[in-house]
Structure 1
Amino acid sequence: MSVALQFGQAQPGVTHLWRTTAFGLVFHDGKLACVRVDRGEGSYYDLPGGAVDGDETEEQALVREFVEETGMTVRPSARIGEAAQYFLKSDGAPINNVGGFWLAEQVSLDPASKVEADHELVWLHPHTALSELRHDAHAWAVATWLRRNAGA
């Protein structure tokens, strides 16, 4: 299978698991919700989101992932695009995340409902997020939003 927009490089001779995903862009006071994933000196920033489980829709996965990673309940509003990202998971597993990037709005925030202890909700200026996000596909989604909303 192929996608129109592929980021990263496949490891030669390695089969990357195709993983359907959904990631979200939520803005508040001009800042973008991101997660800082604590890996000690290897910590990084991602957009909230992740794998679509079972027969979930992208929207259902996005809502679930936001709660798990940030404690935030969101309402997806518009799919802004699709992209894929080759990478190696923290455990070394080769993955190709393929899926939608969504605009969503914050409905509520309950930090006690967050289940991923190594994820921390942080609010970054979109331009800061462009340089700090781990995956090029995530930066592409932010850049796409910025270009579509210039002057808004």
Structure 2
Amino acid sequence: MTSLREVGPAVGAAATPTSLLPAGPFSARRTRTRTRLMTAAVAVFAERGVIGSSVEEICEAAGFTRGAFYSNFADKDALVLALIEQGIAEEYAAAEEAVTELKARGARLLATDTVSQVLGRLSGGGRSDRTNLLAQRELLLYAARVPGLREPYQAFADACRAQVEALVTDALT
């Protein structure tokens, strides 16, 4: 299984949900397959939890075979890490957009207002419905509990915190 330490930059433009895929060029069809599997997994994980869900259930919800799953993910743990990475990348992109908007305005804001706007976008990420909130919590708890995921997830989370710190510092300057 690919560890999050091997994926390069933690978040931002260089990190995408595809960074956990095997190396090589990817067709639009493969990208759509992966997206459908990930979307289905979010719904299944929100309803049954990561531990209570099977690869078969995810495949059935996405309308694919196990072969499609395993051509995109080494196992369920790799899918969990890909979903965490995708969620964090989306939230970081929203926070970056807030910084860009603040810079474009050129107006001086209080530091607390600036930090509040950036962190508000970072924690929102546009995924606040019940299913996404449940799935997000499930994924993070699973990554923290499973011994084989704990260390790579922690390293990824540390890298993300460093990038968020740099983003907030940039916004304040």
- In the superposition, the TM-score normalised over structure 2's length comes to 0.27
Bigger radius of gyration, 1 or 2? Answer: 2
Between Structure 1 and Structure 2, which shows a larger proportion of strand residues?
Answer: 1
More helix by proportion, 1 or 2?
2
